Amino acid sequence: MQKALKKRMKHETTEKKKITFITGGARSGKSDFALKTADVIGKIKAYIATAEALDDEMRERIEIHRKSRGNDWHTIEEPINLLSLFESKHSEWDIAVIDCLTLWVSNLVGNGLTDEAILKMAHNVSEIMAKSGCSIIIVSNEVGMGIVPDNPLARRFRDIAGKVNQIMASTSNEVYWMVAGIPVQIK
């Protein structure tokens, strides 16, 4: 799979920069696929982490994830302001991985933004990414396939995350659904 991926990605990246959207369930292999894909695309790689280390368990997860990437990644922790990050830094990288969009939405909800403000931010981020000088891989969880949540905040989060995923997928050149570590291209 890796050899075929390298051949395809080498051919495609010589044509133009692109946006790839990867979604799926928790632990479905989204981040691993994103990182392997990015390794093929470029030498100057940025990993944009939206997670915040709010407890010991999350700090440990972040550290394990950081070590697994190796030293050839520029790690940027940006839980909120993806727009200004891409406006100012996109020309410095060959490829940027945003991991993950779902946490970004959670951070925005947690900071008290309205649904309208979050959707506007998502549209603005998607537009700046489309104009970016680098290829971009967006990782996001699919949160809408389970039962309807039992409380208003959880339902709101599910709904807004689904809408943001739609915005990003519509701007993307490719969309993948991860199932048990297997990427299924749907766009």
pLDDT tens track for 94-123: 999 999 999 999 999 999 999 999 999 999
Residues 59-87 have pLDDT tens digits of 888 888 788 787 889 989 999 999 989 88
The pLDDT of residue 102 = 96
The pLDDT of residue 22 = 98
Residue 116 token pair: 């309208």
d(CA 89, CA 31): 22
Question: With pLDDT > 70 as the criterion, what percentage of the chain qualifies?
Answer: 91
Q: What is the DSSP string of 117-169?
A: HHHHHHHHHHHHHHT-SSEEEEEEE--SSSPPPSSHHHHHHHHHHHHHHHHHH
Residue 31 within a domain? yes
Chain centre distance of CA 60: 20
Read off the CATH number of the domain in which 166 is found: 3.40.50.300
pLDDT reading at 6 higher than 60: no
Q: Partners of 98 in the beta sheet?
A: 48, 138
Residue 166 within a domain? yes
The boundaries of the domain holding residue 102 are 18-180
Residues 155-174 have pLDDT tens digits of 999 999 999 999 999 999 99
Residue 19 token pair: 């946006």
Give the chain's domain count: 1
Residue 8 within a domain? no
Q: Which residues are catalytic?
A: 65
Residue 158 within a domain? yes
Residue 130 within a domain? yes
pLDDT reading at 176 higher than 80: yes
Residue 138 token pair: 């967006």
Q: DSSP secondary-structure letter at 73?
A: E
The pLDDT of residue 107 = 96
What's the average model confidence in pLDDT over 18-40? 93
Residue 27 within a domain? yes
Q: Is there a contact between 46 and 96 (Cβ–Cβ < 8 Å)?
A: yes
Residue 33 within a domain? yes
Residue 105 within a domain? yes
What's the average model confidence in pLDDT over 120-146? 93
pLDDT reading at 4 higher than 50: no
Edge to edge, the sheet with strand 182-185 lists 73-77, 45-49, 95-99, 135-141, 19-24, 174-179, 182-185
